[in-house]
Amino acid sequence: MIPTPVRITRGITGARWHLSVCDEHLANRLKSETGEDHILIRCLINRGLRSADEVSDFLAPRFDSHLYSPNLLRDMRTAVERLKSAIINREKIMIVTDFDVDGTTSSVILSQTLKLLGGGNLITCYIPDRFSEGYGLSTSIVERAAADGIKVILTADIGIKSHVEATLARRLGIDLIICDHHLPDGEDVPADAFAVLCPKGSSGVDYPNKHLAACGVSLKLADALLNGHPKHTAILESLAKLTAIGTVADMVDLSEKENRAIVAQGLRALSERSTNPGLRALLKFAQVNGAVTTYDIGFKIGPRINAAGRVAHASSVLALFDAQTDEEANDLAMKLDALNTERQQIQYQLVDKLKVIVESQREKLDSVLLFAGPESEGFHRGVVGIACSKIVEMTGRPTLICSINEQGMAHGSARSINGFHMVDALDTVSDILVKYGGHPMAAGFTLTENKIDEMRYRLNSYAAEVLEPGELGRSLTADAEIGINEVSVDLVRSLARLEPHGIGNPVPTFLIRNVPLKSVQILKEKHLKLILGNGARTVDALWWGASGHKDDLADTAAVALLCRPEINSWNGRETAQLKIIDLSVE
C-alpha cells in the first residue's frame, strides 16, 4: 500500500502541495537489486512497484509477453465460435459502439478483424447519434437490426448494462456479444447476452487486468479470432496502433503491465509510416511528426477523433479509417480537423462563461458544482464533459454540467476528484435520473430540468458525508524532493523510461526548495521565464500562462518549485530546463 503523501505548503496558485512518502528501506533494496537511479526508483515506488521483476517489466513493456491470454475472459471461446460460424454460414453481423475514441477505434479493430476472416459485406458498423439517440445500445437499434436480418450484434464500449436489450435480442433471434469495461461494482453482466467479454464481474473473474479499455477488450477478441492465422502477430501489432489511441484517450490505468505493453507497441507502430491512408491523413492534420507520444494522442489525435461524435456524427471516423485513397482520406481528415476547431470554439465559450460564475462565487462554492443551461445558450451537449474537466482542474471540486434541450430534458456529464466516486454519488439520486452510468472519475446522466436543483442539493449533502474539507480544492503531489544541482539531461533521459504516461503513471513532478531566483521575464505576454541558481550554473524554468504572477515575485530572493525537468534542444545543443507547475515564495 502506498503511504499517504505529506502536506507541505500552498503554492501561489492556491493549490495544496504534498510530498510522496517513500519507504527508504524498500528504495535502497530496489536500487541495490536493479542498479537504477535513486530518483527513478522513488517514482517507481510511487506507482506501486515493490520488486525488481516489477521494475523490469514496467521499464521494458513487451507486447510479445506481457499480454494475457484472451481465453482468460470467460466467454471468449463462445464468442469466437459464434462469430466464425456466422461468417461460415453467411449470417449478418452488426457492430454497435460508442461515439467516443474508445468506441470508434473498437469498431475499426473489430470490423477489420472480421473482414480479414472473410466477413466482407456481412459486416455493418453502427454508431448511435449523440443528439437524437444518446449513449448506448437501445431497443430501437435491436429492433432495426432484427428487421434488417442481423443475426449477431457485437457491441464495444456499450452494452454491459443493457439487460432489457439483451432480453429483446434473444427474443428476436439475435445473438448479442458484448465487449465492454464499464461494469459498476456490485453489478453483473446481462444474463440474456449470448457472450460477454469484460474484465470485470463474473465474465472477467479470471482476467488479471481489470483496467482494459473497450478497445483493449476488442483487441483480445481479435487476438482469439486470429489464432492460427499466418500473420497473427503482425496483424495484432498493427491493431495495437488503434488500441493505443483508444486506451490513452479513454484514460485507463497505464501503470498496469498489459496496458503499458499495448500502448508502447502502438506508439512504436504509429511512429512508422502507416499503410492506412486515413491514419496517415489524421497524423498529418494533427501535425504529429516523428516519434508519437501519449501527449500527441491525448491532445492532438484523440480530440480530432472525438470531435466527430461531439458536434456531428462519429461515422466520419469510420469512413476515415476505411478510406482507400489519399485524396479521400485527406478530405475526411480535413473534415475532422474543422469539426475539432468548431468544438474548441464552443468549448472555450462555455468554459469562459463558467469561469466567470466560479470566480463570482469563489468564497462560497458548493462542494459539488452543478451547472445547467439551454443548448441554445452555449451549453452544447457535445462539450459539457470537456468543460467539466476544465472546471475540476480550476476548482478541485466534483463538477457536473447539464445541457437542457427544448423538451426540458437535461443531458449531463460529470467529472470527479479522488475520494468522490461519481457513480456512487449518482446512485444516491438515481430515483430522479432517467439514466446514468460511467466510472468513479467520469459519468453521464439524464434527468428532467425540474429535478436539477434537487440533484444539486442532494449531491452536496452526500459530499458532506464522504468528503473531508481538506479534500476539496486543487492538490498537487511531488514524487520526490530533489536539489537544483540534480537537474540534468541525464536525469530527464532516465525519467523518460517511465513512459508511456497516463492515468496511474503521470509525468513525474518534483519539489525543489530554496532555489535562488536570479531573474524573471515575460515571454510572449503570457508566460514567465525564471533564471534559477547562483554561481556558474543556472537553470531556466518556464511557467506557461503565468505572466499574471510576475508581480508576486518582485524582490524575491528564493523560491520553492513543483516542477518537471525537460530537455531543451537548440542549435544542436541540449540543456536541462524546468517546466513549472506551481511556485511558492521562500
Q: What CATH number should be reported for the domain holding residue 464?
A: 3.10.310.30
Domain co-membership, 466 together with 483: no
Cell numbers at 15, concatenated: 493549490
Look at residues 432, 448, 471 and tell me which one is the last residue of a structural domain. Answer: 471
Q: What is the pLDDT of residue 77?
A: 98
Cell 491493431 belongs to residue:
239
Domain for residue 512, yes or no? Answer: yes
**Distance (Å, rounded) from C-alpha 511 to C-alpha 488?**
15
Residue finishing a domain among 455, 471, 487: 471
Return the pLDDT at 535.
Answer: 74
Same domain, 103 and 216: yes
Q: What is the DSSP annotation of 288-330? A: --SS--HHHIIIIIHHHHHHHHHHS-THHHHHHHH--SHHHHH
The reply to whether 319 falls in a domain is no
Q: Which amino acid is at 143?
A: E
Instruction: Give residue for cell 510572449.
Output: 524
pLDDT of residue 438: 81
Question: Shortest CA distance to 424 belongs to which of 470, 464, 369, 462?
Answer: 462
The predicted structure's pLDDT at residue 462: 97
Read off the pLDDT of residues 521-559 as tens digits, 9 standing for 90 and up: 999 989 999 999 977 789 999 999 999 999 999 889 999
356, burial (CB in 10 Å: exposed 0-12, middle 13-18, buried 19+): exposed
Is the sign of the CA dihedral 234, 61, 488, 524 positive or negative? positive
pLDDT number for residue 3: 66
Contact indicator for 505, 46 with CB cutoff of 8 Å: no
- Whether 88 and 205 map to the same domain: the answer is yes
Where are any strands of DSSP class E within 20-179? 92-97, 123-126, 150-156, 175-179
The two beta strands, 409-415 and 442-448, are antiparallel
**Residue 290 in domain:** no
Whether 332 is in a domain gets the answer no
Contact 568, 1 (CB under 8 A): no
Domain identity same for 480 and 467: no
**pTM recorded for the entire structure:** 0.93
Entry field: residues in the chain: 586
- For the chain, residues with pLDDT lower than 70 are 1-3
DSSP string of 422-468? Answer: HHHHHHTTGGG-SEEEE-SSEEEEEEEGGGHHHHHHHHHHHHHHH--
Distance CA 104, CA 230 (A): 27
Which of 201, 232, 263 finishes a domain? 232
Do 404 and 534 share a structural domain? no
Cα atoms found within 13 Å of the Cα of residue 488, Cβ hemisphere only: 8
Cell numbers found for residue 341: 476547431
Same domain, 434 and 540: no
Residue 240 within a domain: no
Same domain, yes or no, for 448 and 526? no
Q: Alpha carbon of 150 to those of 120, 142, 176: distances in Å?
A: 14, 9, 11
CA torsion through residues 386, 391, 397, 398, sign: negative
* Same-domain status, 428 and 506: no
Domain of residue 170, CATH code: 3.90.1640.30
β pairing state of 510-523 and 527-532: antiparallel
- One domain for residues 503 and 417: no
The 10s digit of each residue's pLDDT in 284-331 is: 999 999 899 999 999 999 999 999 999 999 999 999 999 999 999 999
402 within some domain: yes
Place of cell 469510420: 318
Q: Looking at the structure, do residues 495 and 435 belong to the same domain, yes or no?
A: no
Is 532 a member of any domain? Answer: yes
Sign of CA dihedral 23, 24, 26, 27: positive
**Plot region of 201 (φ>0 → left; ψ -120 to 50 → alpha; else → beta):** left
Q: Range of 381's domain?
A: 361-471
Domains identified in the chain, total number: 3
Give yes or no: residues 82 and 209 share one domain.
yes
- Residue 480 sits in the same domain as residue 445: no
In a domain, 301, yes or no: no
Whichever domain contains 541, its CATH number is: 2.40.50.460
